[in-house]
Amino acid sequence: MVAALLAGVAPAATAAPRPVSPPPPHSVSVAAPHRADLPADAPPALYRAEPKLPAAAGWPGSNTAFSRTSGTGRLADGGLYWTDWLYDDHGTTTASTGDPSVTAGSPTFGLYTYPAGAAHGNGADIFRAAVLDRRSATYWRVDWNTLAAADVPIAEWAFDRDNNSGTGSASWPAGAGVSSPGIDTALTMSSHGAQLIAVASGKVLAHLPVSVDMHAQSFVTRIPKSVLPVRGSWRIRLAAGLADSNGTGFAAPPDALPGQPAVYNVTFRRADQERVSDNFWDDMDQTRALRTGTVAGFSHVVTWARLARRVRTSPPQPLGWSDRWYVSAVDLGPGIVSDFSSIEDSQPNYLGRIQPYGIYLPKSYRRGTATELTFLLHSLTQNHNQYAATTPNFSKLACEDRHSICVTTLGRGPDGDYFDYAELDFWQVWHAVATAFTLDPERTVLCGYSMGGLGTNALAMAHPDLFAKAITLAGAVGNVPSLANLRWIPTYLAGGVTDELVPITIEKAEADGLAALGDRYRWVVYPEVDHVAFELADRFADAAKYMNDAKRVRNPGTFSFTWFPSNGGGLSGNQITGGGISWTQLPAYGVGTTGDYWARHLQARSLTRYATVRAESGKRPERAVITHSSRGITTVDGPGPGVASELTWTRGKRPAARPLIRLHLSNVAALTILRRGAGFRRRQGGELVVTTDGSTAIRIGRQLFHVHKGHRTFQIMPWQPKQYACPPNEPCPGRA
C-alpha cells in the first residue's frame, strides 16, 4: 500500500487490519549490557538480551546447542543438533496455486496447502531435530515451527542402520509416500505416541510414549537400547506431514494429486543442497525430490561412537548467503496469517516467536576482526532471501568485494514497511548478528529497494547517528520535513523514468531537497527502466561503489533532528499514506524515538505534529562546507544509460572553539544534552542559548533549565563531583 500511495496509484482493496495483541509485559526480555560492537543511542530493542526458548519436556540433553544456521547441524552434549529452514513446508507441485501469503512476490516451489484451522498454514514445518545418546537409551526430538494443536503433525524417521543402501527396503511406512534405499527401521512420532516399525515386514516392534511439550513446541521419544540397540554408523532421514485421525500415519494433503507424497517437509537437507538462486524459501530441491517421491539425497550419518565420546563441533557459519534464526521478544500467535485479500495490509504475516533472516558472510570474515554491516532491506511482496535469490552480482559487489556482512530481515512479512513489528524485527536481527559475529559499529550502511528504500529513508531519518550511508533504490520519499536529519549521512538515490510504482518526481523531490539543504547525495536516473526491470537487471555497481568508505559521524558540531512523535520515526504516517496506515511505536518492546548525537531523551509537547531540535556546539566548531554540484554525468554502471547528479563537500578551515551551546526547538517538551558529546570537558562551563516555541525543560549534567517560550540565555556550570552520599535505596544523579 505504501508503495502504491507514494506512487500516486490507488491501492488495491485490502481486508480490515487484523488486531494484534502484544504478549504481557513479563514476556519482554531484560536489557543486556551495552555491547562494544553496537552503537550507542539505538532503541532499547537493539540491546535487549534474546529470550530463551523453553526446555523440551522429556529431553535430558542441551536445549541451546542447536545450530543457528538453517540446513546445518553440529555435535554437542552427546547428540546431533540440526536446524531446518523456517516456512519451507510446501511439499511438491500440485494442481493448487499455493498459499498467496507465501507465494506472492516470493514464490515457493512446493504448492501444498493446509486444511483451514489448527495447522495455521504451517502445521508440519520442522524447525529443529536432534538425536541424543545416553547410557541406557537414545532420545529422538522434533521441534515444530508451529504447534497450536498437538494432533496436527506427524514426524517419521527412517533408519539405515548399517549405512548400506544395498540392504533393507525403500518405501517408508505409515503412508508417507516417499522412498529412500537401504532403510530397515522407521520411527513415527505424533501426539498419540511413537511406533518403531520394521520396514520390510511392516511389523510394529514397539509402541513408545511421546513427550508432547506445547510450550516448547516439541515431540520427544525415548527408545531403550534394549529395544533398539545402537552401534556403528546409521544414515538417518526425517520427514513430516499431517497426522491421520489415529495418529499412526500420514493424512493426504488437501490438494495433493493421486499418488503424490503426503510429506510437507523433509529435513537433513544441507545448506549446499538448496541452491541460492531463485530459491526464496529454500524449498527448490525439496520440491524436486518430492515430485519424484525419492528423498534419498537428504540424510545425515550418525556415528554412535562419536556421540558416546561427547564429541563437540563448532556451530557452522557458511560463507556467502545463508538463513539464520533468532528468538523474538514477541510472539504474535501461531503460524502464518493468510486470510486476507491483499498482501498490502502492512500487518504481520509470520507470527511465531522464531523468525528467520538472510545473511551474507564474506570469505574475508574473521571472528574478532571488526567487520562492516550492510542492511539490504527487501521490497514489497519479497522476503529475507530477495537479494540472495535475485541479485547475485549486487551481492558480490556490496558484500563480498566490500568485505561486508550483509543482512536482510523478513520484517514479519512481505509488506511490513519497516515500522511497528517489522521495525522491532530489524533491531532484534541486528542484535542477533552482533551476538554471532564481530561488527564495526562505525560502519553500518542502510540499503533497500522499493519498500526497502522507504525503510532505508525512515530508519536513517529516525536514527541518523547510527548509520554511515543510506542507499535508496527505487524507493525515495520526496522532500519530507525530516530530510534535514540526513545532514551527516551521504545519501544515494536511483530509479527509472518509467517506474510505474515510485514516480521519478518523488526521487527528484528528495534529491532537490537534499541539494537545497547542501547535503551530500548522488542521484542516478535511468531513462528507459521501469520498477521491476531495475531490480531484475541486477546492475547496481554504481550503488555498491557509493557504499565505499562508509563511516558514521559520531558527534558533529551542528545537527538538525525532526521527528513525528506518534510513531517515533522520521516520517509521518499521515504524510506518507494520507492516514491509511497507523505508524505506532512499541515502547514495551523498546522501539521508539531515542535522540540524535549529543541530544537525548527527547519528548514532544504534541504527538500530532512534527518536533524539531536544531543544535550547535561551539566546543565542536565545524569546518566550513564548500559544496560542489555536478549534473548530467552519464554512467554505464546500471541497467542502461543513466544520468547522475551529485553534491559533494570539501571542507574549509575550522573556526576557533567557543564555550557555547545553541538550541532552536519546536514542539519540544524536554531533552537532555550530553556534555561530553557536545565537546565540554568535565570542568568547563559556558553558555546555553535557547529559542523555543513553548515550555521546554533542558537537562545538562545536574543542571535543569526551564524555558517557557521565546529566547533565553543560561550559564552552564562546570561539572562538580558529588558533595554528599546518596541515601540508601534512592537514585543518585548520574554523570552526563
Q: Is residue 25 part of a domain?
A: yes
> Do 459 and 420 contact (CB within 8 A), yes or no?
no
DSSP structure class, residue 43: -
Distance CA 651, CA 64 (A): 52
CATH code of the domain covering residue 665: 2.60.40
Looking at residues 225-248, what average pLDDT do you find?
Answer: 97
Place 653 in a pLDDT band, splitting at 50, 70 and 90. very high
Question: What residues have CB less than 8 Å from 398, skipping those under 6 apart?
Answer: 374, 376, 404, 406, 447, 540, 543, 544, 547
Place 99 in a pLDDT band, splitting at 50, 70 and 90. low
- Compute CA 427 distance to the chain's CA centroid, rounded to the nearest angstrom: 8
Does residue 336 sit in the same domain as residue 299? no
**In the predicted structure, residue 6 carries a pLDDT above the cut 70:** no
Q: How many residues does the chain have?
A: 736
Does residue 295 sit in the same domain as residue 187? yes
Find the domain containing 392 and state its range: 2-50+328-559
DSSP codes of every residue in 185-225: EEEEEETTEEEEEETTT--EEEEE-EEEETTTTEEEEEEET
> Do 448 and 378 contact (CB within 8 A), yes or no?
yes
What φ, ψ does residue 26 adopt, rounded to 5°? -70, -15
Q: Is residue 451 part of a domain?
A: yes
Does residue 338 sit in the same domain as residue 249? no
> Do 207 and 195 contact (CB within 8 A), yes or no?
yes
Distance CA 459, CA 416 (A): 13
Kindly report, residue by residue over 169-214, the tens digit of the pLDDT.
Answer: 999 999 999 999 999 999 999 999 999 999 999 999 999 999 999 9
User: Which residue has cell 550547535?
Assistant: 616
Does residue 115 sit in the same domain as residue 233? yes
Residue where one domain finishes, among candidates 559, 587, 609: 559
> Do 373 and 439 contact (CB within 8 A), yes or no?
yes
Residue where one domain finishes, among candidates 559, 582, 606: 559
* SS3 of 304-373: HHHHHCCCCCCCCCCCEEEEEEEECCCCCCCCECCCCCCCCCCCCCECCCEEEEEEEECCCCCCCCCEEE
Strand extents, DSSP E, 682-733 = 686-692, 696-700, 703-707, 710-716
Residue 582 half-sphere exposure toward CB, CA atoms < 13 A: 10
CATH code of the domain covering residue 245: 2.60.40.1190
Number of domains in the chain: 3
What φ, ψ does residue 665 adopt, rounded to 5°? -125, 140
Strand partners, 613: 561, 665
Does residue 364 sit in the same domain as residue 299? no
Q: Is residue 57 part of a domain?
A: no
DSSP structure class, residue 423: H
Q: What is the pLDDT of residue 577?
A: 38
Helix (H) or strand (E) holding 5: helix 2-6
Region of residue 596 (left: phi > 0; alpha: psi -120 to 50; beta: else): beta
Q: C-alpha grid cell for residue 499?
A: 517506474
Q: Is residue 592 part of a domain?
A: no
Q: Is residue 96 part of a domain?
A: yes
Q: Which amino acid is at 575?
A: Q
Q: What is the pLDDT of residue 101?
A: 52
Kindly report, residue by residue over 10-42, the tens digit of the pLDDT.
Answer: 233 333 333 333 333 333 333 444 567 899 999
Residue 91, SS3 per DSSP? coil
Q: Is residue 649 part of a domain?
A: no
Distance CA 530, CA 547 (A): 23
Give CA angle at 191 (136, 301), nearest 5°: 50
Q: Is residue 265 part of a domain?
A: yes
To the question of pTM greater than 0.85 for the whole model, the response is yes
Does residue 229 sit in the same domain as residue 99? yes
Residue 671, SS3 per DSSP? strand
Does residue 416 sit in the same domain as residue 471? yes
Closest CA to 431 of 27, 33, 26, 70: 33
**In the predicted structure, residue 648 carries a pLDDT above the cut 80:** yes
Distance CA 346, CA 326 (A): 22
Looking at residues 389-413, what average pLDDT do you find?
Answer: 97
Kindly report, residue by residue over 591-622, the tens digit of the pLDDT.
Answer: 988 999 999 999 999 988 999 999 999 999 99
In angstroms, the first-to-last Cα distance of the chain is 43
Looking at residues 487-515, what average pLDDT do you find?
Answer: 96
Does residue 267 sit in the same domain as residue 179? yes
Least confident of 341-350, 563-572, 607-616, 673-682: 563-572
Higher pLDDT, 315 or 22: 315
Does residue 343 sit in the same domain as residue 300? no
Distance CA 682, CA 736 (A): 10
Does residue 267 sit in the same domain as residue 373? no
Does residue 353 sit in the same domain as residue 248? no
Distance CA 39, CA 82 (A): 33
**In the predicted structure, residue 725 carries a pLDDT above the cut 60:** no
Distance CA 331, CA 80 (A): 28
Q: How many helices (H) and strands (E) does the chain have?
A: 12, 35
**Exposure class string for 285-303: b at 16+ Cβ within 10 A, else e:** bbbebbbebbbbbbbbebb
Q: Is residue 634 part of a domain?
A: no
Q: Sign of dihedral through CA atoms 480, 485, 487, 488?
A: negative
Q: C-alpha grid cell for residue 204?
A: 510394529
Does residue 382 sit in the same domain as residue 345? yes
Question: What residues have CB less than 8 Å from 533, skipping those under 6 apart?
Answer: 496, 639
Distance CA 514, CA 520 (A): 7
DSSP structure class, residue 460: H
pLDDT over 70, % of the chain: 88
Place 343 in a pLDDT band, splitting at 50, 70 and 90. low
Place 682 in a pLDDT band, splitting at 50, 70 and 90. confident
CATH code of the domain covering residue 468: 3.40.50.1820
Residue where one domain finishes, among candidates 530, 559, 588: 559
Q: What is the pLDDT of residue 731?
A: 42
